[in-house]
Amino acid sequence: MLKQVLMSRFSLRRLGILHRTFLSDAYSCREAWQARLTTPVLAQVNHDSLYYELEQKLHQKAKVSAIDIDIYANKMVDDSHIEEVADLMHKFRLTEETSNTLDSTHHAIVRNYVEHSHYSELIELLNNRLGYGVFLDDFTSNLTLDRLITTNEFKWAARIVTLLGLQEDFTNPITRSLALYACYRYVKSGEIDHFDDLIPPPPQEPTEGKKKKKDEIKVRVNFIRNEFFDDHFDIKDTKLLLGKTFFLLGLNSEGAVGNSSKLLGLVLYEKYSKAVEFVQTSAGTEINEEVLGLVKTFLGKHEHKDDEHYVKLVDLLGTANFGMKVDGGSFEKLLIDGINRSVEDNEERQIEEQKSIYIQWCELRQHRLEEELARLQRAKRIQEMEKMSREMEQEEQKLWFFENEDKLDLQIDSKKVFYPKRWFGKKKKPRVVDEGYIPPEVRQRQGQQ
């Protein structure tokens, strides 16, 4: 019986149906994660009606609370609302309440996308940080990378790692080891294709016939902003992104793994001057032979003979003894050993952290919902009091109308607006008065006398 089970697992593995994961099944904490659906906040919510309610609020008032978005995101149990949650996050990002987004909202969205294999949509959300504001945490990073690596989706995994590299945070040992392995497997394949979300749109072909002349609108500006390249968020080249990510991973690693990652990263990043400096200052330290061969391959494919630092690096690595000790072991095996070691040392602790934080999120969600309800009730009471005050004032005016008639008349007159008369016709010249003018009748009388 055991032999049949093993043979069936082997056949499934060959067909690609069963995959070995680096993280155990316990790391996903499915029971603790599903427990959120049994809380009073989420158990009584109708997902479809909540979406239309939020959509109506955003359309009419352009404002919705962060707790409502969190409830909608955490209520998702399938991929039927993938487009709706992305649309809500985009609209919610334009409101002032976006700064109050809960961490559980990010976690729920990313986890749902990964569990239902919507990798391209997830990349779109994560890459458009200003438009959606969705970010990975340590747990979703590990779950996402483990899922992509074990399903041989190394291109998507490398793209996730480059997005993590933009945050410059590889302090989590499991994330760091998985990220190194994902990037190396993708780079090892040889040809580095452009990431799908970084491919520029094709140029539009000119239409035949005469084009309609568009009206030009010229806007006066105070100054023209100079072009600026920050060499970080502005990087759109896949090879440069991978290079900088490799270098950052190498800074957080030690030994042959760290040195190999740094050199490979600097070469992909095309920082040849820093690569020469690194090789010269790392004399006596170890570097992996496979990575060294990969570095030489990339240097041969992307020639920059007009760059003196490139030529110096090629000559330096071409010598038999360039100062660093070459390790002949398998670099991939080193990375896998590093993953297993980091998982063994940190998995149990991170599982307990996840379970604890899921409970905290449920408590926080309940607390925020109670605060929101109290705020709405307080605003409703204030509105009712203001309405009652206006009604009492109107009733008072009716009861004391004859006693305050003169006062009311003065108030009405004071509210009248008197506009000065204006003449919009042709202006007449002022009449010139002749001081020596004598009327005709006076002249006749003087003549008779």
Give the pLDDT of residue 334.
92
Burial label, 116 (beta-carbon count in 10 A; 0-12, 13-18, 19+): middle
Going by C-beta distance under 8 Å and a sequence separation of 6 or more, which residues neighbour residue 326? Answer: 286, 287, 288, 289, 292
Instruction: Quote the pTM value.
Output: 0.78
Scored b (16 or more CB within 10 A) or e, 423-449 reads eeeeeeeeeeeeeeeeeeeeeeeeeee
What pLDDT score was predicted for residue 221? 74
Residues 401 and 183: their CA atoms lie apart, in Å, by 84
How many angstroms separate the CA atoms of 298 and 165, rounded? 21
Share of the chain above pLDDT 70, in %: 89
380 vs 347: CA distance, rounded Å: 49
pLDDT tens-place string over residues 143-191? 999 999 999 999 999 999 999 999 888 999 999 999 999 999 999 887 7
Mean pLDDT across the chain: 84
Whether the per-residue pLDDT at 63 is higher than 50: the answer is yes
What per-residue confidence (pLDDT) applies to 16? Answer: 40
| pLDDT tens column, 207-253 | 555 555 667 788 777 776 777 888 888 888 888 999 999 999 999 88
SS3 state of residue 31: helix
Give the lowest-confidence range in 217-221, 234-238, 293-297, 354-358: 217-221
Q: Tens of pLDDT along 313-333?
A: 888 888 877 788 888 888 999
What backbone phi and psi angles, to 5 degrees, belong to 434?
A: -90, 110
3-state secondary structure of 303: coil
